[in-house]
Structure 1
Amino acid sequence: MTDVDAGERYRAPALDKGLDILELLAETEEGLSQAEIAKALERTPNEIYRMLDRLVRRSYVVRTQADRYELTLKIFVLAHRHAPMRRLVSHALPVLRRFAREAEQAAHLVVFDRGALVVVAQVDPPGYWSLAIRTGSHIGLNNTGSGHVFLAFATPDERRLMQEEHDPMPNEMPPDDLGDILERVRRDGYEIHDSQQISAVQNLSVPIFGPLGGVIAVLTCPFLHRLDTSEALDADAVLNILLAAATEISAASGGTKT
């Protein structure tokens, strides 16, 4: 039996139809109507309707107010679990350790996974003090520097899906000016903001970009102002080192900024 014969023997028409729709929508920026999808795939609108309904119900596709269909963030989330995540951490850890030595500050790497912000890597500075978040910890989406960076670089539909999937942490309250914060983060390319959890801490947070141009992780330094030495770097100097570290990790991950 040839490869072609085997492929035809094990065909799954419904699955093929769904994958055709996902691949078509992945190539469009403004979404498509049901009629446009049917025409592009050379199928009738009735054939497409039931499949679109299932994809919307499973959150792979969203139906907009203009009655058009677009991809959600769900495929992106699925694509960055497990093995790819291990590769990201393996690329990031040497860079994080170098950052900690140069900046004399702690740092942690955060990903968005199934509605939660999860710390997947963390390093301490070489000295005898630091402020660290344990690997595996879940943190807030609306009230942390890491969360603000994820939200700032997401499209409106991606942001809506992230909020829908997110189970807020206890006492997780977004700041009143969250919209202004997100605009500033996207414009500047980073967040520098007083922590909403710990007094006298500034969160320095920068994005890690993936191959498709989206943010796949956020690198955050809980910056502490040192009083025991006159040679300590200030927040701006540490931010520059953090930005360079993020650029290096993005490059190692094949990342490009949209």
Structure 2
Amino acid sequence: METDKTEQRYRAPALDRGLDILELLAIHPGGLTRSEIMKEMGKSPSEIYRMLERLVARNYVSRSLEGDRYALTMKLFHLAASYPPLRRLVMNAQPLMDEFTRETMQSVHLVVADMGQAHVVAQASSRSAWEFRLRVGAMLDMLHTSSGQTFLAFQDKDSVAQILKAAPDAPESLSAAMMKEFAVIRKNGYRLSASQQLVGVTDISAPVRSANGATVAVLTCPFLPRVEAPPEDAQIVDLQGALDLLLKTAERISKT
């Protein structure tokens, strides 16, 4: 009874409506129209309209290009990434990434989306004296890197549009060739292709998923063929071997 009185005393109806909208959109990844939101919440147009506009203005919610559908942006994810969940992701991923490098003698990095770019949040190096690796904190182009393309391939239409809107020098919409590439990545469950930045490097990228199946990160190995003798407790794997191990590692990270 005392708890009920306290809740009533400190009620903030506008804040409650805003939170209700965010929670509602969180379970509708394809977004909802304003009418659908009003129906789900049992609220009048005047109660919803202004709140939606403020959420759009603050970039928590995006309005579709047609202007009639609303969906969550990545902003809540970015807020969460500043808090322990991202640290937990990196903490759980790092030992598995280290294991991958020990077995393959290849480097590997973990990427999340950050304000229209791919952000390297973790990295593991090969024990070899020779390697190619990306530093933690590096910002990568979403459309012209294997990590970025793989991340976009597993996002819904509205999320892709929102990322492109924030990305520097990005087109307003995807080309037919890029959409075809994304379809191939989704079908295969990974991306394997020559690097778009360096000659001789083959990028292998696999999605890392959350408990509800959403792609929240990408694990990428910039594969370099090796001719040197490996340490006694390692082996030099070929491209197919590296792909198989990367997919297993991404799956294991997804389950942590």
Give the TM interval when normalised to the shorter protein: 0.7 to 0.9
Task: Tell me the equivalent position of 1:250.
Answer: 254
Residue 92 (1) aligns with residue 93 (2): yes
In the TM superposition, residue 196 of structure 1 has moved relative to its aligned partner by 0.9
For residues 2 and 188 of structure 2, the distance between their equivalents in structure 1, rounded to whole angstroms, comes to 56
Report the AA paired with residue 155 of structure 1. D
Structure 2 vs 1, CA of residues 89 and 31 (structure 1 numbering), >3 Å: closer, same or farther? Answer: closer
Is the CA contact 1:81–1:113 (under 8 Å) kept in the aligned structure 2? Answer: no
Cα deviation digits, residues 132-154 of structure 1 (max 9, x gap): 11111111111111001110000
Report the AA paired with residue 250 of structure 2. A
Cα deviation digits, residues 177-200 of structure 1 (max 9, x gap): 322211111110111111111111
TM-score w.r.t. the length of structure 1 is 0.87
TM-score w.r.t. the length of structure 2 is 0.88
Structure 2 vs 1, CA of residues 175 and 70 (structure 1 numbering), >3 Å: closer, same or farther? Answer: closer
Structure 2 vs 1, CA of residues 218 and 39 (structure 1 numbering), >3 Å: closer, same or farther? Answer: closer
Report the AA paired with residue 144 of structure 1. T
Task: Tell me the equivalent position of 2:166.
Answer: 165
For residues 122 and 26 of structure 1, the distance between their equivalents in structure 2, rounded to whole angstroms, comes to 30
Residue 108 (1) aligns with residue 112 (2): no
For residues 39 and 254 of structure 2, the distance between their equivalents in structure 1, rounded to whole angstroms, comes to 38
Cα deviation digits, residues 36-65 of structure 1 (max 9, x gap): 322332322122111122222223233343
Structure 1 stretch displaced more, 210-219 or 30-39: 30-39
Matches within 5 A, 1:1-258: 2-28=2-28, 30-64=30-64, 65=66, 67-167=68-168, 177-228=177-228, 232-252=236-256
Structure 1 stretch displaced more, 207-216 or 37-46: 37-46
- SS of the residue aligned with 1:99? helix
For residues 176 and 68 of structure 1, the distance between their equivalents in structure 2, rounded to whole angstroms, comes to 24
For residues 186 and 218 of structure 1, the distance between their equivalents in structure 2, rounded to whole angstroms, comes to 13
Percent of aligned positions that are identical: 42
Cα deviation digits, residues 231-257 of structure 1 (max 9, x gap): 7321111100011111111100xxxxx
- SS of the residue aligned with 2:213? coil
- SS of the residue aligned with 1:225? coil
Q: Which runs of 4+ in 1 moved over 4 A?
A: none
Gaps of 5+ in 2: none
- SS of the residue aligned with 2:155? coil
Cα deviation digits, residues 148-169 of structure 1 (max 9, x gap): 1110000010001111122359
- SS of the residue aligned with 1:136? coil
- Provide the aligned length of Structure 1 versus Structure 2: 248
Structure 1 stretch displaced more, 29-38 or 53-62: 29-38
Is the CA contact 2:61–2:70 (under 8 Å) kept in the aligned structure 1? Answer: yes
- SS of the residue aligned with 1:127? coil
- SS of the residue aligned with 2:59? coil
For residues 239 and 25 of structure 1, the distance between their equivalents in structure 2, rounded to whole angstroms, comes to 35
Task: Tell me the equivalent position of 1:256.
Answer: none
- SS of the residue aligned with 1:199? coil
In the TM superposition, residue 229 of structure 1 has moved relative to its aligned partner by 5.2
Is the CA contact 2:30–2:156 (under 8 Å) kept in the aligned structure 1? Answer: no
For residues 128 and 10 of structure 2, the distance between their equivalents in structure 1, rounded to whole angstroms, comes to 60
Gaps of 5+ in 1: 253-258
Report the AA paired with residue 9 of structure 2. R
- SS of the residue aligned with 1:177? helix
Is the CA contact 2:29–2:156 (under 8 Å) kept in the aligned structure 1? Answer: no
Structure 1 stretch displaced more, 41-50 or 158-167: 41-50
- SS of the residue aligned with 2:236? coil
In the TM superposition, residue 7 of structure 1 has moved relative to its aligned partner by 1.6
> Cα RMSD (Å) of the superposition?
2.4
Report the AA paired with residue 104 of structure 2. A
- SS of the residue aligned with 2:216? strand
In the TM superposition, residue 86 of structure 1 has moved relative to its aligned partner by 0.8
Cα deviation digits, residues 90-113 of structure 1 (max 9, x gap): 111111111001111111111112
